[in-house]
Structure 1
Amino acid sequence: MRERDIENYLRQQVKKLKGIAYKFESPGNAGVPDRIVLLPGGRMQFIELKAPGKKPTPLQLSQHRKIKKVGFSVLVIDSKEGVDEFIASMGGE
């Protein structure tokens, strides 16, 4: 399974919750998480998507630390099961 497949699955599952999974790109800030997920009720989550078994790069981990330093979390997901766990934690199926 490829990262792109997991990303598409995430978008589909977020849409079922009436949420939005924006592609996150920040010019001049390489390594930012792949998606910002916005869910009803004011819930927000940064998500880094990886192919199964792959880990974030040092640059990505540096960006994750910056995000965490200002009070937000970054969730790393590398499988459809990981997407399902995230969705369940947000009150989905």
Structure 2
Amino acid sequence: MTPEGELSDRLKRRIKAAGGQYRKIEWSAHHGAPDLLIMIGGRHFFIEMKAPGKKPERHQLHEHEIMRTIGGCDVRVIDSVEAIEEFIKNVCP
């Protein structure tokens, strides 16, 4: 499994353990959109998963910005175990 895949699996396990749900998203005609939809505590988040040390590419950042400004979406990038734990700490009820 890739490092990104390992982080994604860890996030999914942590979300389920906290009573949330996740969905793997496949976008049609929107290159650069986030990988996951996380639903927890009456809130939802779009998550871009990255391998440790990797950053989103310019087209991904552009799509995330559109989602934030036009759609009011909460889009996050997670690239480490620490980022997962910080996310869980801040969003779990």
**3-state SS of paired residue (1:46):** strand
Q: Aligned ranges for residues 9-88 of structure 1 at < 5 Å?
A: 9-40=10-41, 42-69=42-69, 70-88=71-89
In structure 1, list runs of 5 or more residues that go unmatched: none
Letter in 1 for 2:83: G
Is the CA contact (8 Å cut-off) linking 2:4 and 2:52 kept in structure 1? Answer: yes
In the superposition, the TM-score normalised over structure 1's length comes to 0.91
Gaps of 5+ in 2: none
What's the CA shift for 1:65?
Answer: 0.8
Can you list the C-alpha shifts for 1:48-92, whole angstroms capped at 9, x where unaligned?
A: 110111000111111101111121121111011110100000136
Identity %: 37
Distance apart, 1:24 and its partner CA: 1.2
Superposition RMSD in Å: 1.3
TM-score (norm 2): 0.91
Deviation at 1:26, TM superposition (A): 1.0
Residues of 2 paired with 1:19 and 1:91: CA distance? 8
Equivalent pairs, count: 91
